[in-house]
Amino acid sequence: MKTRAIVAWNVRRIRVDQGISQEKLAYEAGIDRSYLSSLERQSKNPTIDLLDRIAETLGVHLSEFFVQPPKGAWSLKSLSRRRKPAPQHRRKN
pLDDT above 80 (res 34)? yes
Domain encompassing residue 38: 3-64
pLDDT above 70 (res 68)? yes
pLDDT above 50 (res 83)? no
Q: Is residue 89 part of a domain?
A: no
**Cβ-count burial of 64 within 10 angstroms (0-12 exposed, 13-18 middle, 19+ buried)?**
middle
Query: Residues 39-49: what's their mean pLDDT?
Result: 94
Q: Is residue 90 part of a domain?
A: no
Q: Is residue 86 part of a domain?
A: no
| Predicted model pTM | 0.76
Q: Is residue 35 part of a domain?
A: yes
pLDDT above 70 (res 12)? yes
Predicted pLDDT at 71: 79
Q: Is residue 15 part of a domain?
A: yes
Banded model confidence at residue 70, pLDDT cuts 50, 70, 90: confident
Q: From residue 51, how far is each of 18, 29, 72, 77, 85 by CA, in Å?
A: 17, 10, 25, 22, 34
CATH number at residue 27: 1.10.260.40
Q: Is residue 36 part of a domain?
A: yes
